[in-house]
Amino acid sequence: MPACQGPATVVFDQSLTEYDFGPDHPMAPMRVDLTMRLAADLGVLGRGLRQVAAPMASEDLLATVHDPALIEAVQRATYDERFGLGTDDNPVFPGMHHASAHIVGASAEAFRQVWSGESLHAANITGGLHHAMPGRASGFCIYNDVAVGIQYLLDQGAERVAYVDVDVHHGDGVERIFWNDPRVLTISLHETGQMLFPGTGFPADLGGPDALGTAVNVALPPGTSDGGWLRAFHAVVPPLLREFGPDVLVTQHGCDSHTEDPLAHLMLTVDGQRAAYLALHELAHEVADGRWVATGGGGYAVVDVVPRAWTHLLAIVGGHPLDPATETPDSWREHVLRRLGRTAPHRLTDGRDPIYRDWSEGYDPDTWLDRAIHGTRMEAFPLHGLDPLP
């Protein structure tokens, strides 16, 4: 992995766990608490990664991408179907605006850290709320912190921003907000919308008339595992990032692509997810002089997956990746048992070696995976002057 020549930051304070839809909702704030506790117990915090407090986003900052009517509705925190509030996905809760704006503020600070040069890499694992639309909450996401951060970069003078979304669900909100902005390249690798919310994100979805080719979608078949996912990633993401040449790389790291996640149907392991994080870190150094903002996202295997996956992410952001064979600390496992009555994983690995076959070796049109990859390359690559064929 490239040597990091600058400092790295995680934006976090415990009150960010107040983004809480209730005890029966999949988006359990405990996943964040367990991640930060595991990262601390393993020494990730402080070893190349400093922690800074999260400010609150102002209404003016939220309004750079969100309609004032949505902000007012969130502040009222009452059922309002027009704004996607009070649904099963997005139940209202006391202090909803405050908690949601706090997450936006945390991501905004991560973006500020990187753009100002105070940090080379910065992370907000409570962020990555990629489904929120300008005028509507959607898919557990009230405000779109990633889009606010990207808009901040553009307003500060960034000429090109690349966004790579590896959540199992299509990054529809970020894509939609920058659909017709040629300065922003959005790439989403997700389980096909034929099978999964939000039902969008197909290869022919390429961006608006002024930005054709700057929306790129890889719609993966259910059952895709480490080797297939990494094959798709390396066939699509590196060539596009190299051609686009972003000033900053922004990534969303929903870990709901894991085989144990209860809400989707991909079959990655923590080892495959870690390989993706390492690849994105290397690409940040290759294409954006190391300027990298990483956020969390989905992930609903609260004990078994999220803390391990995101601890790997934070360690990579901090420039000191953890050996997958590392054992989880006794103190952390005891905390999980005491708080949740659950037996926590004993190691940071699922015991897999995430190897893949490179696209340059040829593709098989009889497989759904290769047809999906080929479809994306055929649609998007010519718009960037790239040869879509192996």
| Annotated catalytic residue 346 | no
Three state DSSP letters for 120-168: CEEEECCCCCCCCECCECECCECCCHHHHHHHHHHHCCCCCEEEEECCC
- Per-residue three-class SS string for 321-336: CCCCCCECCHHHHHHH
Secondary structure string (H, E, C) spanning 114-129: HHHCCCCEEEECCCCC
Cα-only R_g, the chain? 19
Residue 353 · residue 324 · CB < 8 Å: no
Q: Which two tokens stand for residue 21?
A: 């839809």
User: Cα(145)–Cα(317) distance, rounded to whole angstroms?
Assistant: 19
Find the catalytic residue in 66, 131, 169, 374. 131
CB neighbours of 379 closer than 8 A, spacing ≥ 6? 203, 204, 206
Measured CA to CA in angstroms, residue 139 lies from 52, 84, 91, 144, 183 at distances of 28, 9, 11, 11, 26
By residue count, the chain amounts to 390
Catalytic positions are: 131
